[in-house]
Structure 1
């Protein structure tokens, strides 16, 4: 009559034991700090009337209107070696993250051993299995996942950062290349006009219509124009070599040396500048991942202060393979019970390690805030540069249009014998120099545009692809989870 109540107690005791273990497993988890980046609601250096919709950074470079640049960026994203390195590190971090909690799963080991009896009268061959299950108590289960997830998030941010830097660098080098090619053509035009002007002056000098000082001045200008031609040529050589490195190839493409149209924004204006764009900055994402990893390390250090509790089982079978006094026999033995590892003399060291991890977590939070502030400062600066460069391009464009009209008027006066060819050459030289200023202004605005979107975390695509064998869907934007 009394046996039944005892059987009823077993499920209750088991439930209480399970609840106790669950409580132990969940306690001492380091709380994740609340990260609220101090992002401004509006930008001080943005043009008036900029609306704050949701961010869309996909394919931002297409606004430059250069299909050759678009194709170049696609090639770079697949072939760049820095991106390939970051992709491999992400694969490694993801593999480890998938098995972050494996140390807290039951493990089974099989082993053999050759044992000699201490009295040297017998030798035994032992075969056995050992099973150990360390219980993930005191927050170790969640903390181990946090640390591994932080490592994966950091690898995702590194890949995104490599791609952002790659796209920005390819855009910059391509803009500089096309700009240098345009400058070389215009400087060649200035040189040709100066050569024609010098020829005309030498003809007039024979007629005593031009002073020798004027000829010397024109010769000096011609020499300076020839010297100026070396600068864009140097830029062209440097840009094609850098583009080859970015493409992951040893030699530049010959097609790059063929002059082409300069990329330019044209009528594009900044109409959207949402503050949440900054959240896509790889530097901020990396700092956030470091906070998650530091929180996981803190939780693991706290769990290490307390006893490690687990369950163990063993099954061993031995056979006497050599004996001086008895026949060969075989025996089996098994065991099962709890395993408790209590820190004693090194407990103070473990407590100090936990305190150190707590300070490292606080440092990671400060680093995150610093990354946000740095991102805001870079975005504000780049936004101001873009607006000022737009004003400069508009002004130089108006000056160039005005000089085009002047050249037409000078040519008309020459046809009517109201002006000279020297006046036309002077007008051509001035016009070419105005075109040089316009080309530089367009390039400055293009580069400011690239800098702005890099400062805003202009990722090459919403989910960055892994090069080679991994599809885009394999790289989600990792979030911190418990």
Structure 2
């Protein structure tokens, strides 16, 4: 009978193992999910952009003050620090998950003295040994846990990069806004001086009886209004300096000393080219990559929860060197064991493991939806930045022509007013139009630069999936 039973048991064991291995292979859902991405951009791409590494874009602006402020802000940013701490914590969890795939080995030693058996002599026993334990991951439960930990580490490294990019963009936006604010304040200062001079001359003329007192009063009111606008503009510049102080952690006096005393004219933005295929650009976004890694983590969590419902196999072993000493002498010998080879088979847990699987599947579906939404948002942000850039390019040319025309009109009206051929109201109207046009040009130049920064962020800020992520040694890297 044994000749019949033993082959049947072997066949049953083989079929059971194959069934379990097949179940193991399908524990986790699909890690790579499809997201609908347009085949090409709808908005026109910047035609003047050059192919440069976005991670070096700030250096290409030719402003060392900006580069230093960005680096300083990234070093003190709580957002960047939190992202880095998360990377380090998740790497520790990954190490712990990887350790579960390997055997554990512990050393033990002991010293005992007493009577082991009735009637025996008093004896001293000393021993030293090694104990090993290994969970045989035959169904892949620990491998799924390691896969989940790896996905979280990769995603957190991408979020660290995103935090650095966000800080860099925020500093640059404030820095360029401050420079623009100072240039606009200089325009208002020149306008205020011009109006004060006009008011002074008309006051003298009214006292001499050559001009109407109402005209002199209008000039005084115009000069006061111009001074008020200048004061408001200077206050706005101070507020932006306060913002840079908060971002960089520098003393305000030290920050003011670093800023150029003369804002001068704004240097053109160094443009860059972006990938012509949306799918290529979207894959370089750290937030999209992090969302994709979150799907990997969620899929592995489903696999890990499924594996918890299957049998677990473990093997223990030990070897111990023993010395037994009594009044009659001593004896040395070695003890060793191999086993037990234990099989842990879940039978009844009132639905706890099943509930864990359902919870993991729900989290997986949520991660897939979030990933696809993040892809759509990435495409939207790039499209919006491209539209804004194109519109600002077209508007800037027309606005510069308008400013030139209003400046010429102001010069002509000033000459006519000096000859008594134009009223003060005409002069003030021409001056307001000229100042407004120059202010609009400055605002558009700033807006265009901010749109480039938005496109820089939307294009991923130089993130490259698969490269080593956030490490403590990268804190002092070039700003991104």
Distance 1:220 1:198, change over 3 A: same
Distance 1:131 1:63, change over 3 A: closer
CA distance in 2, matches of 1:460, 1:220: 55
Look up the SS of the partner of 1:104 in the other structure: coil
CA distance in 1, matches of 2:276, 2:72: 29
State whether structure 2 residue 278 is matched by structure 1 residue 281.
Answer: no
Please show how residues 104-253 of structure 1 align to structure 2 within 5 Å.
104-112=101-109, 127-251=128-252, 252-253=254-255
Displacement of 1:453 in angstroms is 2.3
Look up the SS of the partner of 2:473 in the other structure: coil
The counterpart of 1:102, out of the listed 99, 112, 127, is 99
Alignment partner, residue 5 of structure 1 = none
Deviations, residues 149-175 of structure 1 (Å, cap 9, x unaligned)? 112112211111112102211210111
Look up the SS of the partner of 1:33 in the other structure: coil
The counterpart of 1:469, out of the listed 470, 473, 478, is 473
Look up the SS of the partner of 1:194 in the other structure: helix
More divergent stretch after superposition (64-73 vs 384-393)? 64-73
Distance 1:345 1:137, change over 3 A: same
Alignment partner, residue 8 of structure 1 = none
Look up the SS of the partner of 1:452 in the other structure: helix
Distance 1:331 1:344, change over 3 A: farther
State whether structure 2 residue 452 is matched by structure 1 residue 449.
Answer: yes
Deviations, residues 320-378 of structure 1 (Å, cap 9, x unaligned)? 6899xx99877643221212222233273112212211121111111101111222222
Please show how residues 5-24 of structure 1 align to structure 2 within 5 Å.
23=21
Look up the SS of the partner of 2:90 in the other structure: helix
Deviations, residues 188-230 of structure 1 (Å, cap 9, x unaligned)? 1121111112112212322445444433333333333222223
More divergent stretch after superposition (370-379 vs 95-104)? 95-104
Alignment partner, residue 353 of structure 2 = 350
Please show how residues 364-383 of structure 1 align to structure 2 within 5 Å.
364-383=367-386
CA distance in 2, matches of 1:194, 1:411: 11
CA distance in 1, matches of 2:472, 2:423: 61
CA distance in 2, matches of 1:66, 1:419: 48
What is the TM-score when the length of structure 2 is the normalising length?
0.79
Alignment partner, residue 388 of structure 1 = 391
The counterpart of 2:335, out of the listed 333, 343, 349, is 333
CA distance in 2, matches of 1:210, 1:144: 89
For the 8 Å contact 2:320–2:334, the answer to whether it is kept is yes
Alignment partner, residue 480 of structure 1 = none
CA distance in 1, matches of 2:49, 2:309: 49
CA distance in 2, matches of 1:425, 1:255: 38
For the 8 Å contact 2:32–2:296, the answer to whether it is kept is no
Deviations, residues 406-433 of structure 1 (Å, cap 9, x unaligned)? 3454566578x57579677765554333
CA distance in 2, matches of 1:150, 1:447: 34
Unpaired runs of at least 5, structure 1: 1-12, 474-482
Deviations, residues 27-65 of structure 1 (Å, cap 9, x unaligned)? 344133332332222333x23897999996343456756
Distance 1:167 1:49, change over 3 A: closer
Residue-pair matches, total = 454
Displacement of 1:449 in angstroms is 2.0
State whether structure 2 residue 37 is matched by structure 1 residue 39.
Answer: yes
Deviations, residues 274-323 of structure 1 (Å, cap 9, x unaligned)? 41322222221221111111112121111111121021112345566899
Alignment partner, residue 400 of structure 2 = 397
Distance 1:472 1:301, change over 3 A: farther
The counterpart of 1:440, out of the listed 438, 443, 452, is 443
For the 8 Å contact 1:128–1:314, the answer to whether it is kept is yes
Please show how residues 15-94 of structure 1 align to structure 2 within 5 Å.
23=21, 27-44=25-42, 46-47=43-44, 57-61=54-58, 66=63, 68-74=65-71, 76-77=73-74, 80=77, 82-94=79-91
For the 8 Å contact 1:264–1:443, the answer to whether it is kept is no
Displacement of 1:236 in angstroms is 2.5
What is the TM-score when the length of structure 1 is the normalising length?
0.78
CA distance in 2, matches of 1:357, 1:421: 79
Alignment partner, residue 319 of structure 2 = 315
CA distance in 1, matches of 2:151, 2:269: 42
